[in-house]
């Protein structure tokens, strides 16, 4: 039986070295992508020494249409970044994942020689892992991307964002054409619910057994109508994330970040509720909660 196509929760996954670009290029790229209505996964946490990449991060890579890898001076000195890179290359080869390299402050031919000398010392018992890192680095560095040396940063970001936006607009019709009856359902939503005036909160549920394509339908609806709103957010895997420790707070933080297009912190879920009430109460927003239960 043929395998089903991947379910994309994000448009873009950003792979970057935090200490190099988190507070400058990467945050600016994130904001510009979000302003164009592009769903971006940007991990905010620094990995503790010795900690392995989290399953949730692996899943985010698998569920993204594109990965943008921002190569910077210290990118290859991070085992975490290199593990991300290996996963991204795996998805590129096995799932048709699109990979876009950005060379920020480094030459595309950079080999990160010193970083790999250190890795060979630190991973003497697993040199195959280091060789795999090198191979994946070479694979991605050979792809078509953007060399930002001696280029205006804001102009470069605009070019990257418009390229991704165009590519996404080309691929969306291909997905929605396979969904029989989707256009008539969108007309019902637009005519009977979304176009209504009065500032009312409208709740619409997509129900059914697991595996029948509810997430796919919700995603297409989201991509088709989100431009009609002041802000939009697609929260994926809500049931799973909510059940995790600190899950509700992280969902609130993600919601506020996506809608307001700014990075901020929610200290606890109680304060998160108050922040959402205060900052979103006058906005017309589209919020999709994917995979919820009746609890």
Both structure tokens of 14 = 């950003």
Residue 49 has pLDDT above 50, yes or no: no
What lies within 8 Å, CB to CB, of 253 at 6+ separation is 264, 265, 266, 272
* Rounded Cα distance, 237 and 242, in Å: 8
Mean pLDDT of 248-273: 83
Q: pLDDT grade, residue 2 (50/70/90)?
A: very low
H helix or E strand, kind and range, residue 241: helix 238-243
What total number of domains does the chain contain? 2
Kindly list the catalytic residues.
84
Residue of 198, 165, 203, 163 lying closest to 286 (CA atoms): 203
The pTM of the full predicted model, rounded to 2 decimals, is 0.64
Residue of 62, 45, 63 lying closest to 9 (CA atoms): 63
| CATH code assigned at 126 | 3.40.50.10140
Query: Do residues 210 and 156 both lie within one domain?
Result: no
Is 31 contained in some domain?
A: yes
Enclosing domain of residue 134: 10-163
Range from 153-157, 174-178, 254-258 carrying the lowest mean pLDDT? 174-178
Range from 63-72, 91-100, 248-257 carrying the lowest mean pLDDT? 248-257
For residue 44, the model assigns a pLDDT of 65
Q: Cβ(97)–Cβ(63) under 8 Å?
A: no
């Amino acid at each position: 039986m043929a395998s089903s196509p991947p379910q994309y929760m994000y448009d873009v996954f950003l792979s970057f070295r935090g200490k190099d670009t988190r507070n400058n290029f990467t945050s600016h790229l994130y904001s510009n992508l979000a302003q164009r209505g592009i769903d971006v996964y940007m991990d905010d946490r620094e990995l503790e020494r010795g900690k392995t990449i989290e399953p949730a991060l692996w899943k985010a890579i698998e569920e993204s249409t594109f990965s943008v890898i921002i190569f910077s001076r210290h990118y290859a000195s991070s085992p975490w970044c290199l593990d991300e890179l290996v996963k991204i290359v795996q998805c590129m080869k096995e799932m048709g994942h699109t990979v876009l390299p950005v060379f920020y402050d480094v030459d595309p031919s950079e080999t990160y020689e010193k970083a790999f000398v250190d890795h060979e010392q630190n991973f003497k018992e697993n040199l195959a892992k280091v060789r795999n890192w090198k191979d994946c680095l070479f694979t991605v560095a050979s792809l078509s991307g953007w060399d930002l040396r001696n280029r205006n940063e804001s102009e470069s970001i605009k070019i990257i964002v418009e390229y991704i936006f165009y590519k996404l607009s080309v691929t969306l019709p291909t997905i929605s054409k396979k969904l029989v009856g989707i256009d008539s359902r969108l007309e019902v939503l637009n005519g009977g619910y979304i176009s209504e005036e009065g500032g009312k909160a409208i709740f619409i549920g997509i129900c059914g057994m697991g595996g029948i394509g509810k997430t796919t339908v919700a995603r297409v609806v989201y991509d088709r109508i989100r431009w009609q709103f002041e802000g939009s957010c697609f929260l994926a895997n809500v049931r799973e994330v909510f059940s995790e420790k600190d899950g509700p707070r992280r969902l609130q933080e993600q919601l506020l970040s996506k809608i307001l297009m700014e990075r901020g912190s929610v200290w606890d879920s109680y304060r998160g509720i108050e922040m959402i009430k205060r900052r979103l109460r006058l906005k017309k927003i589209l919020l999709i909660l994917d995979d919820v239960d009746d609890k």
